[in-house]
Amino acid sequence: MNGNNNRMRVGKYELGKTLGEGTFAKVKFAKNLDTGESVAIKVLDKDKILKHKMVQQIKREISTMKLVKHPYIVQLLEVMASKTKIYIVLEYVTGGELFDKIVSTWSRLIENDARRYFQQLIDAVDYCHSRNVYHRDLKPENLLVDANGNLKISDFGLSALPQQCRADGLLHTTCGTPNYVAPEVINDKGYHGATADLWSCGVILFVLMAGYLPFDEQNLMTLYKKIYRAEFTCPSFFSSGARRLIMKILDPNPKTRITAAQIYQNDWFKKGYSPAKFDKDMDINLDDIDAVFSESTDYMVTEERGVKPPAMNAFELISLSRGLNLSGLFETREQDRGPQKESRFTSTKPANEIISTIEKAAKPLGFNVQKRDYKMKLQADKHGRKGHLSVATEVFEVAPSLFMVELRKKGGDTLEYHNFYRDLSKGLQDIVWRSEKDGNSSPIK
């Protein structure tokens, strides 16, 4: 069958599965029909942006990503708009989150691997700072890995530009993720974006090497007190060089904290270091940023929406398997012991039957169900560790009479999602396709 007839098209792009979802935006897999290139498209609702007075923040995010053209940063390719939506077209990064490399095995990286990712992180962050761009939400969840195993920084939604500094030359907005935030950011007396970002880099290095956070408390005030005092201990298996560098980065006094220039001269950091090679003098065009928020037709695109379950092509199946071996899509992977953020199974049942079966299985578990076409949103009644668990579900047609079902955590705690999916699976036995080889069901991850 021709998948193009069933998919939503935006200009020259054909939209596929949802890769991620936030309060104000969805990120979709898409294909450039002219070139065949795979991309990720961030879709924002204009009405929501206007209602929540987020126009300047979105403009700032787009401006930031255009300013920072670096091999270790997710690249913005173009910006488009329809009458109701804004589409930010981004480089598609296939390797997943760096966070998953730690969580999926409940383990840590070996020191050489952690050092290589840290070198790439400092390379990219220092480049941002040279362009007067400060990320302000650096954490493993915002670090992706490409097909070559290289780092890609994403999500510049909280980034700051020079014009946000007050007369004292400092930033004053408290933002970021508590466990990774520098003490001076919490202090609310103003901070330098560069030194605050470096603190976050130090926390990331600790997490990569230790497999857990240096500052981690359920009570927010207790957490902040530990951050203020830099109360943490490096594990005994850290090398002396790594331990000394981390202590210099996680210095609670920003005036004496190590700088990027000093990190480059650090012996532990320099081992095997190879700076990124790229054109630092590329022309930057910001004309489309204002245009997509106006009624200008220069960047306007048309939308075409289908009504059947979206088809999934072979490339997307391969990309989901994180390699060329597709067996992981249809077999249980016993080696994946940690909590995952998404799960998939295949079914030969009709799409409508799949949807209704998931709904019947979810409601007794205490979940409200919202349905639209071949998508569902499952929301837990009870408040969990990180708010209400929310799960997005979508049905894709792989081939005639063969569907792939994806469940993805939208909000809440990852471990709670893992437990929910385990319980939900018990009610899905009649619709899950089983291989003749071993009779096992087929969740991936």
Distance in Å from the first CA to the final CA of the chain? 29
Closest to 198 measured CA to CA, from 140, 251, 265, 268: 251
Look up residue 69 and give its two tokens.
């053209």
Question: What is the rounded CA–CA span in Å between residue 290 and residue 363?
Answer: 45
Taking the CB of residue 207, how many other CB atoms lie within 10 A of it?
Answer: 23
Phi/psi zone of residue 126: left (φ > 0), alpha (ψ -120 to 50 degrees), beta?
alpha
CA 25-30-32 angle, to 5 degrees, is 130
CA separation for the pair 408, 303 (Å, rounded) = 25
**29 neighbors 40 (Cβ within 8 angstroms):** yes
From 433, 29, 256, 355, select the one nearest 10 (Cα to Cα).
29
Catalytic residues: 137
Cβ-based neighbours of 22, under 8 Å, separated by 6 or more: none
Backbone angles phi, psi at 349, to 5 degrees: -75, 160
